[in-house]
Amino acid sequence: MTMQGSMQVRKDWDTYFMDIAYMASTRSRCPRRFVGAVLVKGKKLLGTAYNGAPMGVPDCGEEGCMIAETVELETVDGEERQVLKQRCVRTIHAEQNLMLFTNAADRVGATVYVTDQPCWTCANILANSGISEIVFHRPYRKDHERVSTMLANTPIIFRQLAEYAPPLQAMLGYTE
Ligand SMILES: [Zn+2]
Ligand SMILES: [Zn+2]
């Protein structure tokens, strides 16, 4: 008996764990951004998290998003201009929840897979969390430069899965 014909290309570990991060993101109740993150060490899953309101507190699905507006500088066609941005501040970010729900000892030398490139605050927290690698999929332009620069000063490996395609189920209902 041969296995020929039934052989499938096996998922690599990056795809496997990023898929799990995307599935965790489907638990998010903030319609503006579904973010999922997982902690992995030695190919073992040590924790999963998504962005959400603190336990017992109404979330965006119940009370609507809590919108904060900020003016940011953006460079468009080489010209710097001020842009008004809206962001939901109701939720604890997935990366921060992941840090709250995992053990410090487990984090040492571990990898965080996160659906979106960490924001400035999360990147700082991750940099001090003991982990040794951050793998993300969707870019987050706002903080890209300062996050990359900051992480380049640490031993943490910071990489994007540019070729990755999320599982279709995880993208249903995603509005951005
Ligand atoms: Zn929200
Ligand atoms: Zn964040």
Report how far ligand 2's centroid is from the alpha carbon of 35 (Å): 9
Report how far ligand 2's centroid is from the alpha carbon of 169 (Å): 23
| Residue numbers annotated as active site | 95
Full-model pTM? 0.88
Backbone dihedral region for residue 104 (phi beyond 0: left; psi -120 to 50: alpha; all else: beta): alpha
pLDDT in tens, 29-73: 998 889 999 999 999 999 999 999 998 999 999 999 999 998 888
Show Cβ contacts of residue 134 under 8 Å, excluding neighbours closer than 6 positions: 111, 112, 114, 118, 123, 126, 151, 156, 157, 158, 159
Residue 96 corresponds to which tokens in the numbers above? Answer: 């921060």
For residues 98 and 71, the model is more confident at 98
